[in-house]
Amino acid sequence: MDEAFELGNRVRKDFPILNRLVKGKPFVYLDSAATTQKPIQVIEAIKNYYETFNANVHRGIYSIAEEATAAYENAREKVARLINARSPREIVFTRNTTEAINLVMYSWGQNNVREGDMLLATEMEHHSNLLPWHILSKSKRANLKLIGFDKEGFLRLDELEKYKNEDVKLFAFTFASNVLGTINPVRELVKYAKEMGAVTVVDAAQAVPHMPVDVQQLDCDFMAFSGHKMLGPMGIGVLYGKERLLEEMEPFMVGGEMVKTVGFESSEWNDVPWKFEAGTPNVEGAIGLAAAIDYLQHIGMDVIRRHEIKLTEYALDVLVRIGEITYYGPSSPEQRCGLISFNLKGIHPHDLAMFLDNEGIAIRAGHHCAMLLHSKLGTVASARISFYIYNIPSEVDLLVKSLEKIKRMLGI
């Protein structure tokens, strides 16, 4: 077997949930784009926190409070190293990608966008990187324009040319589409934005967990991603922002911890990044995320990327042999992340997902929080399979076998 496929077999022992049965059949999890399963190392890290040094952070001067604070800030440092941020001060912990992008919209957008300004996004955005700009454009009477994509799932970069002489304040785009799988040319898009004088907001929820990402090399202004999509727990997300921009921004939420001094009529905010982390933070989430980063970096992000390319290549090859399947996005696995959205003629994606669940196979079905994208594809929904480090070719074979079974049942 190809060396790239050995990763899945090697790590599966670390994921307890993969040993269970569903409907009496071996569990096949093909929905990692929605959330990833957790290795025992992450589960144990969270358990150890609650059993040995559970305390609030930044406040107590007793031993376990100092231990909790150190672990929380250590997690921030690990995130910074993972994406090569210049400083941990450029890392803000949020609940998820959605909150991170909303933070930018409220803290930067509401204070920098003016009536008549231009905002750019793309037609392939997840709702988390589209709806905030709807709100901003409406509240500020700004103009929101969307860059389209072609039949292969690639952005129409030529459409950017017509905005070069406009007063574009912001360009928000996904690093990798959660439906098409398309990996966008982030560095090139950032360059376009700089020529227009626009700030960039990159949704990297489907990128940071799956491939090497270097924010300094990309030179983006903001980047958002979620811990639960990279083996970490739910409820912890990350906003990377250039320190200069974060310093200039007002806080998104106010309350405890994010303030230095409070007077009768005014207050002085804390330093970045803490001025954006009001209230008790998700300490267990940060600790779990740190353990997840350790796990991923031990494997190597380049190794993870090669594994997903090979698995996606294999899946594309066997799926097209079935017939009556339409898949969306680039045909080359090197140009897409490890997910495939498709439709099987004659069956709604929801019905397909229910059938596959009876076979022990978990996939996603629906519009994947990308209704506009599906509208552009001419469909209301799609089925989606998505891979991660623990997936192996035999799971793809089981999927194909089940799809052929349903085709026979329906006479497709």
| pLDDT tens, residue by residue, 366-400 | 999 999 999 999 999 999 999 999 999 999 999 99
In this predicted structure, what is the pLDDT of residue 144?
A: 98
User: pLDDT grade, residue 14 (50/70/90)?
Assistant: very high
Question: With contact defined as beta carbons under 8 Å apart, do 312 and 211 qualify?
Answer: no
Pull the structure tokens for residue 38.
């957790």
Q: How confident is the model at residue 16 (pLDDT cuts 50, 70, 90)?
A: very high
Residue 286 CA to residue 76 CA, distance in Å, equals: 8
Q: What are phi and psi of 240, to 5 degrees?
A: -90, 135
Which structure tokens are listed for 257? 């911890």
Q: Are strands 361-362 and 339-344 parallel, antiparallel or unpaired?
A: unpaired
What's at 7, amino acid-wise? Answer: L
Look at residue 411 and tell me whether its pLDDT is greater than 90: no
Catalytic residue among 369, 371, 372, 400: 369
Residue ranges and CATH numbers for the domains of the chain are 3-30+300-410 (3.90.1150.10), 43-297 (3.40.640.10)
- Which pLDDT score is estimated for 2? 60
pTM of the model: 0.97
Measure CA 351 to chain center: 26
Q: How far apart are CA 193 and CA 237, in angstroms?
A: 25
> What crossing angle do the helices spanning 63-83 and 40-52 adopt, rounded to 10°?
150
Confidence of residue 167 (pLDDT cuts 50, 70, 90): confident
DSSP code, position 155: B
Question: Would you place residue 3 in the very low, low, confident or very high pLDDT band (cuts 50, 70, 90)?
Answer: low
The closest alpha carbon to 122, from 64, 59, 170, belongs to: 170
Residue 355 host element (H or E): helix 349-358
| Residue 369 annotated among the catalytic residues of the structure | yes
